[in-house]
Structure 1
């Protein structure tokens, strides 16, 4: 008889092969389910004992451990899909998630850098060193293109068409899109290819554009650490992540008159409602500017 752990393995295989979900999505589901199984084990709860009260206790346990509302909501979503799969496979006769509602998320807008803060951040890397030049280049590319961090780290040499000023990338759901890249970012890429990348590569080989100090593909965590360090060096007091450059890219385009559907296309959003959050950020910025500079505000 299959254990719950076996069923998790089956489910992850199913969403990979049958559903074709991305590697990062599967990784996040695996992590959620592993934590849930560990909790069941420590509480000595058998699969037959799992009901909505067990789930509520688990979610409450996460909250007491300091999990954010979004993390708890993600866990609810993961468990809902997992138990729906088990029900569809006739492993369960009922879904213990039926009575469980996700926590309400507070309506928060993502952090965005001002133009001055972008300049501050971009001045932080010491570009006379190979790693400093790489760091400045990846900042320039992220801000010039609005790439997700996974798209940046998976960028390969063949994806760059600098003679045309374009980058080719695979986004969520393996959707391909072509993104223009400005002259400044292209100039930094050329410097990086001429001076820094060969030193990082040493005598090895790699198709990836951005490399770590061992000459291998730079990881998502690597980009996160780089940006956190540079934000600190730049003296910017905001909660900044790699995604902040993508938010800033979209917001600055809209503030300067770009059409919402063009921004949607550049970001690779399948639904324009996802892109519309940036219009709220833009309006908030306009209100702040008005309050600061209008004589009768």
Structure 2
């Protein structure tokens, strides 16, 4: 059975007034980006298509109808990750309608959304990052711009949406930092390392003035026509250079963000610092990187006073022996 897409049937239909009110709430009160709002609209158009298909009235939607909606999506080939996202949007939508007293009670309150296992982030090694950067020639204007993009993504952990929203006024190259406007209207200052700052300055002084013919465009990263670079274009350029570098697997902007966070932890940064740099509202979101780099915890435990005492008691600083039958007690390497 073919998968139903909102763009096939309902993308040109007017949104239901309840959905329009919810969308305005997401924009005005929650401060969500247009990208996030568009994702909500996409998912709620699916619900609108289902309601129209079954001839139901929105006022009469209940728990049974929403369970039927989930089954309807599953029958049409929606993967679990997509299904969970749609149901999460539906739950938020009906919770809002209840809070503003459009509905007396929330029909989605008991709609169970099964939790999926959190996938570990895919990261590049430091050697892979070096290969990627070295594969980008800086002799051409496009290469110089792309080198600045890749350097900045890796050096700051920016989301690609944050990167393409950067404006010239957001840069403070004298202090080596930039102002990032993140999710939910949150703003944070991010330091720029020396290497990334050098790549960025090279692009800004030799390439961007040539492309910004009329001097009115404030976006940092432009295409050759002088227009702001899109998220899709950044993804395509990164994919191109990763292929040139011979890197295995898919390399995409968010993978550089994962790599940034993981390498920080490997070099001794604490989890709270990584949370702030990534712009995560919750430390729980950042904790996924601890599964990528468990050596960080072994190193931290080795710094415990008991670990220091054991090293002092051991001849020549060697690690004291542990019972062979309990390999879990083997202390970490001192490397």
TM-score range, shorter chain: 0.7 to 0.9
Task: Report the Cα distance in structure 2 between the residues aligned to 1:54 and 1:46, rounded to whole angstroms.
Answer: 11
Deviation readout 1:68-107 (Å, 9 max, x if unpaired): 4332222111111111222334433432213321132123
Aligned match of 1:230: 241
Q: Pairwise mapping of residues 174-193 of structure 1 onto structure 2 (< 5 A)? A: 174-193=185-204
Q: Report if aligned partners of 1:124, 1:234 keep a CA contact under 8 Å in 2.
A: yes
Q: Pairwise mapping of residues 1-297 of structure 1 onto structure 2 (< 5 A)? A: 5-283=16-294
**Pair 270,92 (structure 1): closer, same or farther in 2 beyond 3 Å:** closer
* Structure with bigger gyration radius: 2
**Pair 129,9 (structure 1): closer, same or farther in 2 beyond 3 Å:** same
**Pair 18,161 (structure 1): closer, same or farther in 2 beyond 3 Å:** closer
**Pair 61,136 (structure 1): closer, same or farther in 2 beyond 3 Å:** farther
Q: Report if aligned partners of 1:72, 1:103 keep a CA contact under 8 Å in 2.
A: no
RMSD: 2.5
Task: Report the Cα distance in structure 1 between the residues aligned to 2:217 and 2:16, rounded to whole angstroms.
Answer: 37
Task: Report the Cα distance in structure 2 between the residues aligned to 1:214 and 1:61, rounded to whole angstroms.
Answer: 45
* Structure 2 stretches lacking a partner, 5+ long: 1-13, 299-331
TM value normalised by structure 1: 0.86
Instruction: Give the secondary-structure state (helix, strand or coil) at the position aligned to 2:190.
Output: strand
Q: Report if aligned partners of 1:111, 1:238 keep a CA contact under 8 Å in 2.
A: no
**Pair 91,4 (structure 1): closer, same or farther in 2 beyond 3 Å:** farther
Question: Aligned residues, how many?
Answer: 286
Deviation at 1:181, TM superposition (A): 0.8
Task: Report the Cα distance in structure 1 between the residues aligned to 2:287 and 2:34, rounded to whole angstroms.
Answer: 27
**Pair 40,244 (structure 1): closer, same or farther in 2 beyond 3 Å:** same
Deviation readout 1:89-147 (Å, 9 max, x if unpaired): 44334322133211321231011111121122223334322222211110001111111
**Pair 148,49 (structure 1): closer, same or farther in 2 beyond 3 Å:** same
Task: Report the Cα distance in structure 1 between the residues aligned to 2:283 and 2:247, rounded to whole angstroms.
Answer: 31
Aligned match of 1:291: none
Deviation at 1:252, TM superposition (A): 0.4
* Structure 1 stretches lacking a partner, 5+ long: 288-293
Instruction: Give the secondary-structure state (helix, strand or coil) at the position aligned to 2:222.
Output: coil
User: Where does structure 1 differ by over 4 angstroms across 4 or more consecutive aligned residues?
Assistant: 284-287
Q: Report if aligned partners of 2:290, 2:296 keep a CA contact under 8 Å in 1.
A: no
Task: Report the Cα distance in structure 2 between the residues aligned to 1:216 and 1:9, rounded to whole angstroms.
Answer: 31
TM value normalised by structure 2: 0.77
